[in-house]
Amino acid sequence: MTREVLRVGAPSLSRVAADVVDVNDPAVRRDAADLCEALAAFRAAHGFGRAIAAPQIGIDRRMIALAVPGWSDVIVNPEIVWMSDARVTLWDDCMCFPETLVRVARYASISVRCWDLSGDVYMKAKLPLAQAELLQHEIDHLDGKLSFDRAVGENAVVSRRVFDADRETFARQVDYFPQR
């Protein structure tokens, strides 16, 4: 059964998620399957979504489902272990408010240590910008943060309708614009 993505304002979105202790726990496995199913359903319905954090569907675990080549379908207990000095601004979108974009600043690159569902620990070092900003966004969800908490500059929140009607103007307002 697909769990619905929670909308901004849901109390669980502001809580810090609990560490996954045992990746073999049947409840963890069920939650991971639900997380993958929710990501696939959202992508089918909205046409975007590279990842989803467990708290976005009401699961209190440090897990992220990914639709990114070279990554496991689900990672657990991700941790940023290095951040570049360089930062970039971008328009962030989120499954919890798909009709809105928020201008945020993120590190241009990060390194992440995490586990997969086999229990293997691995490190993804000095991620390219597209993956770095995605993982920062999802880890923020695990830490009870939303893009609104990272908003920068004046008029940092815009409706998708307005954004889509004048994409070039919004592109000039940020350093990185993957929406082209």
Q: Which two tokens stand for residue 110?
A: 């990060």
Report whether 83 contacts 136 (CB < 8 A).
no
Strand partners, 87: 107
- For residue 112, the number of C-alpha atoms closer than 13 Å in the C-beta half-sphere is 24
Count CB atoms within 10 A of the CB of residue 43: 15
How far does CA 156 lie from the centroid of its chain?
18
Is 138 a known active-site residue? yes
122 contact partners, CB below 8 Å, separation of at least 6: 113, 114, 115, 116
Tell me the Ramachandran region of residue 58: left when phi exceeds 0, alpha when psi lies from -120 to 50, beta otherwise. Answer: left
46 annotated to a ligand binding site: no
Q: Per the residue annotation, which of 37, 133, 138, 168 is the catalytic one? A: 138
Report whether 61 contacts 77 (CB < 8 A).
no
Active site residues: 138
Instruction: Specify binding-site residues.
Output: 94, 137, 141
